[in-house]
């Protein structure tokens, strides 16, 4: 499916974006989105194993846009889902148990740092310092896990993706 809005995201991921911009595209691709905890909007689709969490109130960075576009591309291509161990439904999840990777964001993309989680691809946190990125990432992770549970999908087990560095 050719989508002008999606192509604009792909061409300029660093442009100023709002959650509503992604929500419009999501609705065109039957991607579900949920506003969780007042901090993030989480996008999910049954055919894609990961979810994408973007901040509701702070700037959506290029890393968030790239994760969203990758989710749409994966769904559009019909790529087989990656298999990861998941937790039993109803299992309490401690977000601190999920390993993260912190990487600098190039100055050309606004600078700062991004925190990512290999176990929950598309779940990112961004901040001016590594600590701020980690804190934002944990909020996004909490929102993503909550959204997965609301969609009757088991969240990935912490540390389920072994030997794979979290994407920045």
> Does residue 161 belong to any structural domain of this protein?
no
Q: Torsions phi, psi of 100, nearest 5?
A: -125, 165
Q: Quick: pLDDT tens for 74-91.
A: 776 654 444 445 555 555
Token code pair at residue 98: 């999920």
Q: Would you write out the chain's pLDDT as a tens digit for each of its 168 residues?
A: 578 888 998 898 878 888 888 998 888 888 888 887 778 898 988 777 778 888 888 878 888 898 899 888 877 665 444 444 555 555 556 778 889 999 999 998 889 999 999 888 888 899 999 999 998 898 888 888 888 877 778 788 888 765 544 444
Any domain includes 158: no
Say if 166 falls within a structural domain. no
**Number of domains the chain is built from:** 1
Give the pLDDT score at 57: 81
112 domain residue, yes or no: yes
Q: Residue 129's pLDDT is what? A: 94
139 Ramachandran zone, left/alpha/beta (phi>0; psi -120 to 50): alpha
Question: Does a structural domain hold residue 157?
Answer: no
Quick one: which H or E segment has residue 69? helix 62-77
Render the burial of 112-147: b for 16+ CB within 10 Å, e for the rest.
bbbbbbbbbbbbbbbbeebeebeebbbbbbbbbbbb
Domain span holding position 98: 4-150
Query: Looking at the chain, which runs of residues are DSSP E strands?
Result: 32-36, 40-45, 48-55, 101-104, 113-116, 124-127
Quick check: is 133 in a domain? yes
Residue 160 lies in a domain: no
The answer to whether position 164 is within a domain reads no
């Amino acid at each position: 499916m050719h989508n002008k809005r999606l192509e604009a995201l792909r061409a300029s991921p660093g442009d100023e974006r709002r959650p509503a911009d992604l929500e419009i595209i999501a609705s065109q691709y039957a991607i579900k989105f949920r506003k969780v905890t007042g901090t993030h909007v989480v996008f999910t689709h049954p055919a894609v194993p990961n979810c994408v969490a973007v901040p509701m109130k702070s700037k959506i960075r290029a890393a968030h846009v790239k994760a969203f576009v990758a989710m749409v591309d994966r769904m559009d291509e019909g790529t087989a889902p990656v298999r990861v161990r998941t937790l039993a439904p109803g299992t309490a999840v401690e977000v601190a148990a999920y390993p993260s990777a912190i990487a600098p964001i190039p100055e050309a993309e606004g600078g700062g740092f991004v925190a990512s989680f290999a176990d929950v691809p598309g779940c990112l946190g961004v901040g001016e310092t590594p600590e701020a990125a980690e804190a934002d990432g944990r909020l996004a992770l909490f929102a993503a896990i909550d959204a997965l549970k609301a969609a009757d999908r088991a969240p990935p087990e912490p540390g389920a993706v072994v030997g794979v560095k979290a994407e920045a």
